[in-house]
Amino acid sequence: MADYYETLGVSRDASDDDIKKAYRKLSRKYHPDIAGPEFEDKFKEVNSAYEVLSDPDKRRMFNQGIDPNAPGGGAGTGYGAADFGDIFNMFSQGFGAGFGSPNPIPRTQPGRDSLASLSVELKTAVFGSKEKLDVRMYAVCDDCNGSGSADGSAPQTCPDCHGTGAVQRVVRSILGQMMSTDTCPRCEGHGTILPHPCPTCNGHGRVQKQRSITVSVPAGIQDGTRLRLSGQGEVGEGGGPAGDLYVDITVRPDDTFTRDGNDLHCWIRIPMTWAVLGHKTQIDTFDGEQDVTIPAGSQPDDTVSLENLGVTRLNREERGKLIVHLEVSIPQKLSNQEKKLISDFEELSKESKLDGKPQQASKPLNKAKGFFEKLRHAFS
């Protein structure tokens, strides 16, 4: 008997919330549309484990050594799991026809929701765009148009279950011989059979196809956002209505800009003379080249803000800032003439008159007061 707790990676005393969280994580990890068709069996194991552990009655049976998902009720102890499983089956389905039979399963079923991932550039998050997403999922079978029938003939009543979708069998239990109701194997619980099932889809009305979907990524979208595309999921059995497609958005890191909320940040390295005297230059942005004015007396790690060049605010036309961080390049090697010029400047500067000792404090000092200390260190 499979250990459903081990399948979901939870302890036997796990709460309902713990079981639900573990299931969501694993179902997303092993979903065939994401992990690939080779993980379909693993995905079914996870779903089977959750089906049992999320149901209080089935979980109680499993804790007693009975697998509700196994044929005949699973393995157990005492009088045998088949006895207890059949008893549970009879009670849940009404002891057969005398107490009512389960309804046949409609051939047309709604499709499941699907999950996919899409990676976009930071520029896409700034302005928004329409992105192409290739997915593989169930779609309507073109050969039978979703009917499941090769020649278009209507389904006929199943001769084994007479349209009920269920068959009865006699089983032995601790109470003696009793009647059990099971899904009809011939019609798979539909109550009807197709005289000539479509060979392409085996009568299911759907096949797996590769599809190309256009995803509208809104401007200002955050990394990790999940978009919902209504009716873009997989088609159901018998060509039933499609479920929804959920798309997880990942915003790739950019080589030039870093995002912080709706603001963009970048760093530029400037010569010492630009910082001292001021300078006007240009930088590349997502809006093309833009002028940047570096104020005279700029210090290392100072910033210059460019309005309305950041990320578009979600569902609004406003944009954040582009914040330019200044990295002042202190020359490592100076010629004698350069050293003399800076020494002369230092003599004329009020900043350098420290009576031979630097300022000292228990917290960072004003950046401007430490600038020439870096110059002094560079050519000392």
Q: Are residues 342 and 319 in the same domain?
A: no
Q: Are residues 287 and 217 in the same domain?
A: no
Chain centroid offset of residue 141 CA? 28
91, pLDDT greater than 70? no
pLDDT of residue 31: 80
Domain tally, the chain: 3
Q: pLDDT-derived band of residue 127, with 50, 70 and 90 as boundaries?
A: very high
Q: What are the tokens at 271?
A: 């010569």
Domain boundary among 217, 252, 287: 252
Q: Are residues 135 and 223 in the same domain?
A: yes
302, pLDDT greater than 90? yes
Q: Are residues 373 and 274 in the same domain?
A: no
Q: Are residues 349 and 282 in the same domain?
A: no
What separation in angstroms does the CA of 120 have from each of 60, 129, 194? 46, 10, 46
Q: Are strands 322-329 and 303-306 parallel, antiparallel or unpaired?
A: antiparallel
| H or E element in which residue 379 lies | helix 371-379
User: Which residues does 317 contact at the CB level (< 8 Å), separation at least 6?
Assistant: none
Q: Are residues 247 and 357 in the same domain?
A: no
Q: What does the pLDDT look like over 259-287, one tens digit per residue? A: 999 999 999 999 988 998 999 999 999 99
pLDDT of residue 362: 64
- Can you tell me whether residue 204 is helix, strand or coil? coil
Q: Are residues 315 and 212 in the same domain?
A: no
> Please, are residues 111 and 241 in contact by the beta-carbon 8 Å criterion?
yes
DSSP 302-353: -EEEETT-SPBPTTSS-B--EEEEEEEE--S---HHHHHHHHHHHHH-GGG-
Domain boundary among 229, 252, 275: 252
Question: How many CA atoms are closer than 13 Å to the CA of 69, on its beta-carbon side?
Answer: 18
76, pLDDT greater than 80? no
pLDDT of residue 89: 44
Only one residue has tokens 């300022």, namely 359
d(C-alpha 321, C-alpha 284), whole Å: 14
Report which residue type is found at 318: E
- Can you tell me whether residue 375 is helix, strand or coil? helix
Q: Are residues 240 and 281 in the same domain?
A: no
Q: Are residues 245 and 118 in the same domain?
A: yes
Between 189 and 82, residue with greater pLDDT: 189
pLDDT of residue 78: 37
In a domain, residue 137? The reply is yes
Q: What are the tokens at 170?
A: 């006699």
Per the structure, the complete domain to which residue 134 belongs is given by 104-152+199-252
In a domain, residue 305? The reply is yes
CATH of the domain at 120: 2.60.260.20
Q: Are residues 216 and 137 in the same domain?
A: yes
What separation in angstroms does the CA of 358 have from each of 294, 309, 379? 28, 41, 17
User: Which residues are part of a known binding site for Zn(2+)?
Assistant: 141, 144, 158, 161, 184, 187, 198, 201
pLDDT of residue 311: 95
User: Which residues does 45 contact at the CB level (< 8 Å), separation at least 6?
Assistant: 2, 7
Summary mean pLDDT of the chain: 82
> Please, are residues 234 and 137 in contact by the beta-carbon 8 Å criterion?
yes
73, pLDDT greater than 80? no
Phi, psi of 328 (to 5 degrees): -85, 125
User: Which residues are part of a known binding site?
Assistant: 141, 144, 158, 161, 184, 187, 198, 201
Q: Are residues 244 and 310 in the same domain?
A: no
Q: What does the pLDDT look like over 129-153, one tens digit per residue? A: 999 999 999 999 999 999 999 998 9
Q: Are residues 143 and 111 in the same domain?
A: yes
Chain centroid offset of residue 100 CA? 44
> How far is the first Cα of the chain from the last one, in angstroms, to the nearest whole number?
78
Question: Which sign, positive or negative, has the C-alpha torsion 137, 2, 77, 11?
Answer: negative
